[in-house]
């Protein structure tokens, strides 16, 4: 680094051109009070003049007026030369002098609001017009030349820069920090535009994928205490855990966020014509149920596995009322997430200061296509979201006995829940509620047995005369490779089974089902 780089940068001239004018007049006034000459364009120049500040138009510097509806105004050597010049290079200094190019020490730019334009459903042409060109070009130029110029792209950094100037000038460390933010901004901006165009042109898997996110918060730690973690917000507008209003409670942990997302996605995937509740522990459901009310749905979901539900995450698909809140707060709960809660419910939750209450404002659309990503060594996997829903009319009954209407309803429900259970997954359900869940087992037989044992334990806790799994139906997330897993479910008390089929031993499994009088 040169001597200039190591010293504090003095600001004598600033180019200010922003679409988000929050605080810009006050910031520019503070610069002007320090003797900084202000250059500006269009609406920003007007806003500064309206605030009583003296401003020089960029057009006066370039000798060209703004043209083509503002598409061309700063794309000129007299602007980019003043931004990019290496002040330590004699040739650069000579070029500045010969061409009467004013040096720019500070660039203050934020970009056209493409994200907001897209979010409000603007048409294709308006979105294109809100793709900024001159702004990113200047920002990248200033960020590259951070040895000699400071670049501010975030209104939150106005105060940072003024504090630096009050201390004698902008340090190299601060200029590097601002440059990093600038490159992050332009990278995220282009990634957003690229993703939008890929969607507009129906490219599920374009040749290149650019990911971007804005840091929402640094977490205390990751999945384990020795791991660092943070949560980033993407451009996705889907209602959920990241966008939710945190009404109360301490900061969410990495595991809280993971479990809360799993819970809300599950309950959002269920039928919406009746109240539903999902209770999650370690990203797996330990109870899911429909009810006539949310209170009833919660009680049925909790009954499935009350031991695991302790300290769990609860998701509801409607507005929480006082009765439901009172029921939920009767045991220790980490997080509650729902579209809304009434005043009585919020007041009840307030009595549990450590309980986090998240309100999303809405349920996400069930039909929205999403791309899901998972990192692997050297890259990442991408797949479409699992939006599969079983059509009752498309069911194929392969046994002698036909399922009853009640069994069909419970089979469809159990299979929908199984989608959200780590494989190998087995879900027992009865009367619109899970009564046993076996998750994440290497053997499907073990998943069947564990789910049945949990059902027996829950029945004993509830003082019921027999395991709840008796007379239930069972869903398997994949085919039964052998008859033993299916027979384990039958021995537990299941009367009907739903599974994808496709095993080379399907006939053997079907024969065993017929022998056990399963549907």
Q: Which of 385, 393, 392 is nearest to 369 (CA)?
A: 385
pLDDT, one tens digit per residue, over 53-71 is 999 988 888 877 777 776 7
Q: Which of 21, 78, 92, 282 does the annotation list as catalytic?
A: 282
- DSSP-assigned states of every residue in 227-243: S-EEEEE-S----STTT
What pLDDT does 1 receive?
42
282 is catalytic: yes
Q: Which of 365, 357, 323, 364 is nearest to 340 (CA)?
A: 357
Cα 244 to Cα 146, 247, 310, 345, 346: the distances in Å are: 37, 9, 23, 17, 15
CA 492 – CA 495 distance, rounded (Å): 9
CA 456 – CA 14 distance, rounded (Å): 73
In 54-167, the DSSP E strands lie at 56-57, 106-110, 150-152
Q: Is the peptide bond before 495 cis (omega within 30 degrees of 0)?
A: no
Round to the nearest angstrom and report the end-to-end CA distance of the chain: 77
Q: Compute φ and ψ for 6, nearest 5 degrees.
A: -75, -20
CA 23 – CA 457 distance, rounded (Å): 61
144 is catalytic: yes
Q: Which of 144, 181, 352, 422 does the annotation list as catalytic?
A: 144
pLDDT, one tens digit per residue, over 263-281 is 999 999 999 999 999 999 9
Q: Compute φ and ψ for 123, nearest 5 degrees.
A: -75, 175
In sequence order, the 6+-apart residues with CB closer than 8 A to the CB of 240 are: 261, 264, 265, 360, 364
pLDDT tens digits in sequence order for the chain, 519 residues long: 444 445 889 999 999 999 899 999 999 999 999 999 999 988 899 999 999 999 998 888 887 777 777 677 777 888 889 999 988 899 998 888 889 889 999 999 998 888 888 888 889 999 999 898 889 999 999 999 999 999 999 999 999 999 999 999 999 999 999 999 999 999 999 998 998 888 888 888 888 888 888 899 999 999 999 999 999 988 888 899 999 999 999 899 999 999 999 999 999 999 999 999 999 999 999 999 999 999 999 999 999 999 999 999 999 999 999 999 999 999 999 999 999 999 999 999 999 999 999 999 999 998 778 888 898 999 989 898 888 888 888 899 999 999 999 999 999 999 999 999 998 999 999 999 999 999 988 988 898 889 888 888 888 888 888 888 999 999 999 998 889 988 988 998 999 999 998 888 999 999 999 999 999
Q: Are 339 and 318 in contact (CB under 8 A)?
A: yes
What pLDDT does 387 receive?
87
pLDDT, one tens digit per residue, over 382-423 is 898 888 888 888 899 999 999 999 999 999 999 999 999 998
Cα 238 to Cα 264, 367, 369, 453: the distances in Å are: 12, 12, 11, 37
What pLDDT does 6 receive?
56
What pLDDT does 310 receive?
94
What pLDDT does 119 receive?
82
For the chain, how many helices (H) and strands (E)? 20, 21
């Amino acid at each position: 680094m040169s001597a200039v780089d190591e010293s504090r940068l003095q600001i004598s001239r600033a180019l200010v051109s922003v679409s988000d004018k929050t605080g810009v007049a006050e910031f520019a006034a503070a610069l002007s009070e320090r003797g900084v000459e202000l250059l500006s364009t269009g609406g920003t120049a007007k806003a500064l003049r309206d605030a009583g500040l003296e401003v020089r138009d960029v057009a006066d510097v370039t000798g060209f007026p703004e043209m083509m509806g503002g598409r061309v105004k700063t794309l000129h050597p007299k602007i980019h030369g003043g931004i990019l010049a290496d002040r330590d290079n004699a040739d650069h200094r000579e070029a500045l002098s010969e061409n009467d190019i004013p040096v720019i020490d500070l660039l203050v730019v934020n970009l056209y609001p493409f994200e907001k334009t897209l979010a409000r459903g603007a048409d294709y042409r308006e979105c294109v017009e809100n793709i900024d060109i001159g702004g990113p070009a200047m920002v990248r130029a200033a960020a590259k030349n951070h040895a000699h110029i400071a670049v501010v792209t975030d209104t939150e950094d106005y105060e940072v820069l003024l504090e630096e100037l009050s201390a004698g000038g902008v340090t190299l460390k601060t200029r590097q920090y601002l440059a990093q933010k600038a490159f992050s901004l332009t990278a995220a901006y282009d990634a957003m535009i690229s993703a939008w165009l890929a969607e507009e042109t129906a490219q599920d898997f374009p040749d290149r994928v650019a990911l971007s996110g804005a840091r929402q918060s640094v977490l205390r730690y990751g999945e384990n205490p020795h791991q660092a973690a943070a949560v980033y917000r993407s451009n996705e507008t889907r209602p959920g855990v990241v966008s939710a209003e945190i009404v109360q409670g301490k900061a969410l942990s990495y595991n809280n966020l993971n479990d809360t997302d799993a819970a809300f996605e599950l309950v959002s995937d269920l039928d919406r014509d009746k109240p539903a509740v999902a209770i999650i522990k370690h990203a797996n459901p330990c109870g899911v149920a429909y009810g006539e009310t949310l209170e009833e749905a919660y009680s049925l979901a909790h009954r499935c596995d009350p031991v695991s539900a302790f300290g769990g995450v609860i998701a509801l698909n409607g507005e929480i009322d006082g009765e439901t809140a009172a029921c939920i707060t009767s045991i220790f709960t980490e997080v509650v997430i729902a579209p809304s809660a009434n005043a009585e419910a919020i007041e009840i939750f307030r009595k549990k200061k450590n309980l986090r209450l998240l309100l999303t404002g809405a349920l996400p659309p069930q039909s929205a296509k999403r791309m899901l990503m998972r990192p692997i060594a050297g890259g990442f996997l991408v797949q479409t979201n699992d939006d599969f829903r079983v059509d009752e009319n498309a069911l194929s009954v392969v046994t002698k006995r036909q399922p009853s209407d009640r069994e069909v309803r419970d089979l469809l429900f159990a299979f929908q829940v199984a989608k959200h259970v780590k494989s190998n997954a087995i879900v027992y359900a009865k009367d619109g509620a899970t009564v046993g869940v076996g998750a994440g087992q290497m053997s499907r037989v073990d998943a069947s047995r564990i789910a049945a044992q949990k059902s027996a334990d829950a029945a004993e806790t509830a003082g019921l005369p027999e395991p709840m799994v008796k007379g239930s139906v069972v869903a398997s997330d994949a085919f039964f490779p052998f008859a033993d897993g299916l027979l384990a479910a039958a021995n537990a008390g299941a009367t009907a089974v739903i599974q994808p089929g496709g095993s080379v031993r399907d006939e053997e499994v079907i024969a065993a089902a017929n022998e056990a009088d399963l549907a």
